[in-house]
Amino acid sequence: MPTSSLREELKKREPFRSLEQEAMLGILRTSDLLENRLARLLRKYGLTPSQYNAMRIMRGEGEPMPCLEVANRMIQVAPAITRVVDQLLHRDLVHKKQSSQDRRVFLVGLTEEGLVLLRQLDEPIQNLHRELLGHVSAEDLHALNRILQIARESVVESSGSDS
């Protein structure tokens, strides 16, 4: 597949106003392409990326956890975590119960069926990661991860000044 510059890809006539603008648009474009491929794979299993992310968080915790804690750990902000959990409940992939310590809190966890589905997805997800990023050297991936971490920290630090 021939490489093209972001400017050509976006059919942008003028040069970018700054390196920061080009980097930002490059991140957004790349994120969209990667998310679309992930969504296509998950669709085969009847899941959305948000549902998959919520299930992985629950599996990682290993025991029922508050719904809001799942929302706080999501890769993408899920304003409707209740809807995501309800969709998973409807498919018997998760269970939900009221906390005995705080009746306002609902604890969610994976059912055996949910665990089985995640196990089925483990290899296809890893294969997708390799397919999409396996051609990038380990050195470049480490550099990319470091750069993205710096960018996230900057966003978190500056988000307090928006209000």
Residue 59's domain is classified under what CATH number?
1.10.10.10
Q: Which domain holds residue 64?
A: 48-122
Cα 157 from Cα 133, distance rounded (Å): 29
In a domain, 63, yes or no: yes
Q: Does a structural domain hold residue 142?
A: no
Asked, for residue 89, whether it belongs to a domain, the answer is yes
Residue 29 domain-assigned?
no
- The total of structural domains in the chain comes to 1
pLDDT digits (tens, 9 = 90+) for 112-156: 999 999 999 999 999 999 999 999 999 999 999 999 999 999 887
Instruction: Specify if 27 maps to a domain.
Output: no
Q: Is residue 82 part of a domain?
A: yes
The pLDDT tens digits of the residues spanning 13-38 come to 888 899 999 999 999 999 999 999 99
Which strand ranges, in their side-by-side order, compose the sheet holding 106-110? 65-66, 106-110, 94-98
> Is the residue at 32 inside a domain?
no
- 158 inside domain: no
| pTM of the entire predicted model | 0.86
